[in-house]
Structure 1
């Protein structure tokens, strides 16, 4: 099943080239003659289209993402100067029209290659840690607190999804070590909170671009917030492994309590996907492997 078909089957709002053409022509007539076509690798939260050769249009695929266009337009220009790689450059924000119910955005196009599992993972771990350290160092005052706009990224994961995590772990009894999974959740519930910092909210392989084998851009700040940075650590188990995971842990500027909550985020998401038999990004580790890696990491650090 194509990504588009999967989104439509899941009840996402249908968007096609014709609708995008009408929206652009009505609200930004200066670009009405530019060709529009879907991008090769679209995401889940938005429908994304090329607009000419140097721009893209992103339209939220559901109401839960509706606040993100305005948030990115406001905050990305303020975050970008402090970050070591390219991030999206907002050009314009459109409004509801032509039957489309939410705000939508136009951005500059960023050149780069999609990241695959064949990339030098050690180099990627270093680059992502450097990006996160720079992001967390930005003044968090006045930044948005975690909420629906961030799908609670930046919140304490046990408060946000702890009950769900336990339910999904129960559903996987027999497929995973449920006792060890509960130990991860119990341990995270006991660790102290950390000071709020900027978080990206979706540090995932689909949101990276590379040039010459190194990270060149991080995209999709729709889940950005100011809060607990543990949500930005999930890549350690979902994509990294062995030496690259160890390098990421040693370089990223978080304490052991935050790392413990990061395990909860990874466990919750992997258990949700496995319990519901949902597909994952083709370049990421499968959910049961993620859970096994999280459990192994917890045991190693508990020694």
Structure 2
């Protein structure tokens, strides 16, 4: 999926586990065909999972990021009220794999999809309840610190422009550009709140049409409250999305900022993963279709 992507397979993971964590050795190792773009994920027996970063990097910097994400994930687990993976161990480079890697608990459930529970008002209420719990948590006086989603919308103009330039023949570029121009100038939030930060389908677990767990909480931290509203655009069709909005209590400006964050995220998925990750490519398309069809945004 990425230039210079690291190669790692089940045999290498098996050797890493056996050599560094003998107590976990002997368990079957199986690669998962997930839509992950940052880590390769492997089942380790029935109750654990191994995550190996795909992007090359400095091992010390990667380790520091893993430790920061583990702290953030523990904070999320304390407020989410839903199952979420727990860090079991951090492994060292070895067996020809150049970076640290992690072992986590395995959370049962089906990975979410853009359409799987899109019509369910029960699922919409579950998502909204999660967002409200997280947003009610104490930030400890912190505010957004970084350059990613959740800060200042116009900071993403250059990225959106690049995506639009690369999306000719893939998307209705003029309509998407017009929508971004409308949304990027929205008023800033009056406060930052705790957020998960990446509520895409791949990070949501479902059983039937109910929310069963949340994955990849390493980005948890203070940000624009609208950031977690992307879940409504990624996972819900219009009627269920109306329920989701009603329960969260989002006003017109906050709701539209959530749409802006969803647009910024979805736009890159379409062209970047066109040939390498059909699941993420399709997610970008479905989210943009919902955004462009929403009368509150385009009417």
TM-score class, shorter? 0.7 to 0.9
Task: List per-residue Cα deviations over 1:216-255 (Å, max 9, x = no partner).
Answer: 1011123333212333222322331110111111122544
Give the equivalent residue in structure 2 for 1:94. Answer: 91
Residue 118 of structure 1, aligned match among 116, 119, 122: 116
Deviations 1:163-189 (A, max 9, x none): 221343355578526267335434432
Q: Which structure has the higher relative contact order (CA within 8 Å, separation 6+)?
A: 2
Query: Do 2:152 and 2:188's aligned partners in 1 also have CA atoms closer than 8 Å?
Result: no
**Cα separation, 2, equivalents of 1:38 and 1:90:** 19
Partner of 1:199: 195
> Runs of 5+ in structure 1 lacking a partner?
1-6
Cα displacement string for residues 129-181 of structure 1 (whole angstroms, at most 9, x for unaligned residues): 11111111111227695437xxx13322321x222213433555785262673
Q: Distance in 2 between matches of 1:131 and 1:283?
A: 26
Task: Determine which of 36, 53, 58 is the counterpart of 2:46.
Answer: 53
Which runs of structure 2 are paired with 1:160-175 in the superposition (5 Å)?
Answer: 161-169=156-164, 172=167, 175=171
Q: Kindly tell me: are residues 145 and 191 of structure 1, through their superposed partners in 2, closer, same or farther at Cα, counting changes over 3 Å? A: closer
The TM-score with structure 2 as length reference comes to 0.82
Equivalent runs, 1:67-146 vs 2, <5 Å: 68-116=65-113, 117-119=115-117, 120-141=119-140, 145-146=144-145
Judged with a 3 Å threshold, the aligned counterparts in structure 2 of structure 1 residues 285 and 58 are, in CA distance, closer, same or farther, namely closer
Task: Give the TM-score, by structure 1 length.
Answer: 0.81
Compared CA separation, residues 53 and 177, structure 1 to 2 (3 A): closer
Please give the residue correspondences for 1:178-193 in structure 2 after superposition, counting only pairs within 5 Å. Answer: 178=174, 181-193=177-189
Q: How many equivalent residue pairs?
A: 290
- Whether the 8 Å contact between 2:84 and 2:213 is mirrored in structure 1 is yes
Q: Which residue of 2 aligns with 1:257?
A: 253
Q: 2-side partners of 1:275 and 1:52: how far apart?
A: 36
**RMSD in angstroms over aligned alpha carbons?**
3.0
**Contact 1:202–1:232 (CA under 8 A) maintained in structure 2:** yes
| Residue equivalent to 1:28 | 21
Uncovered stretches (5+) of structure 2, i.e. residues with no partner: none
